[in-house]
Homo-oligomer: A and B are copies of this chain.
Amino acid sequence: MTKRASTARSVREALQVAEGPFTLLGYDPAGTPLAPGSKSKAAKDLARTGKVLAEQQVMLYANGTTGDQRRVLLVLQGTDTSGKDGVVSHVVGQVGPAGVRITSFRRPTAEERAHHFLWRVRRALPAAGIIGVFNRSHYEDVLVTRVHESIDDAAWAERIADINAFERELTESGTVLIKCFLHISYAEQRKRLLARLDDPAKYWKFNPADLDERAYWADYQSAYAAAIAATSTEWAPWHIVPSDAKWYRNWAISQLLCDGLLGLKLSYPPADFDIEAARARLQPPF
């Protein structure tokens, strides 16, 4: 990891998971690969990147209005307190809210359970020109289920195959898919849970059931590793984002999102009408 980061030219390269065997053990949740020299430099860089993101989003949207089918989907996964909501506020919050579609996936409803697990996910996909954000996603259906053994290995493998086919379909039809695992340590999660108990403005975020899930920490780490290994494909690789430092997490995911948008080489669509004729119709007294 350290070696790779030191030779990587972009955050994407530094954090991207290759196809093949995988373990989370080599990834330091407190790492800061390719980060600007200091936290305050990262904050300045984040603000700069935010301006680029905001402009790129407008261009993506503008092209969407002319029939361009391209769109972006940012998938955020991670244990409780890993910072998914923080990324939505601090990274996604940098772009115009009208061009963004955010979906938080919770425990499936009765109606959702009566369908294939991808049914609700397909309904939440961003339209052309839009940046979609999944706060949790279809990956919950191969994580929680594996930890609590509610599906067997064959069913798990089937879902993994469904996910890979689904994500291939998305990328083939114009979606830039950016999958991020927000990687925090067991100790950092304790700190964040305790912080919620110390601040009355955060009680509402605390759920004692999160403590029950914390007891399955090791199982979740294994389940994540297995899912990431099985779904880091050429068309939709995972990124392991060290997230013990919130500033690094926000900076790195801004970089990944920016990288994805710049890769589209967007420009503003040309006029599809006669500019001079339009101007003539606006001469006084009209």
Contacts and interface: CB of A to CB of B under 8 A. Distances in A.
B204 A66 contact: yes
A36 interface: no
Most chain B beta-carbon contacts within 10 A, residue among A96, A190, A204, A206: A204
B98 A135 contact: yes
A21 interface: no
Interface stretch (A114-122, A240-248, A267-275): A267-275
Contacts of A281: 211
A262 interface: no
B96 A89 contact: yes
B97 A211 contact: no
Contacts of A96: 88-89, 93
Interface stretch (A27-35, A144-152, A192-200, A224-232): A192-200
A282 to B, nearest CB: 5
A269 B204 contact: yes
A236 to B, nearest CB: 24
Interface in A248-286: 268-275, 277-279, 281-282, 286
Nearest to A63: B204
Interface string A117-151: 00000000000000000010000000000000000
Contacts of A214: 286
Contacts of A206: 271, 273, 278
A169 interface: no
Interface residues of A, number: 44
Contacts of A279: 194, 197
A88 B281 CA distance: 29
Contact of A278 (B63, B135, B211): B211
A100 interface: yes
Nearest to A85: B98
A2 interface: no
B204 A62 contact: yes
Contacts of A10: none
Contacts of A274: 208
A102 B89 CA distance: 16
A270 B85 CA distance: 21
29 contacts: A62-B205, A85-B98, A88-B97, A88-B98, A89-B96, A89-B98, A92-B97, A93-B96, A97-B100, A98-B104, A190-B286, A193-B282, A194-B282, A197-B279, A200-B268, A200-B270, A203-B269, A203-B272, A203-B275, A204-B268, A204-B269, A206-B273, A206-B278, A208-B273, A208-B274, A208-B278, A211-B281, A211-B282, A214-B286
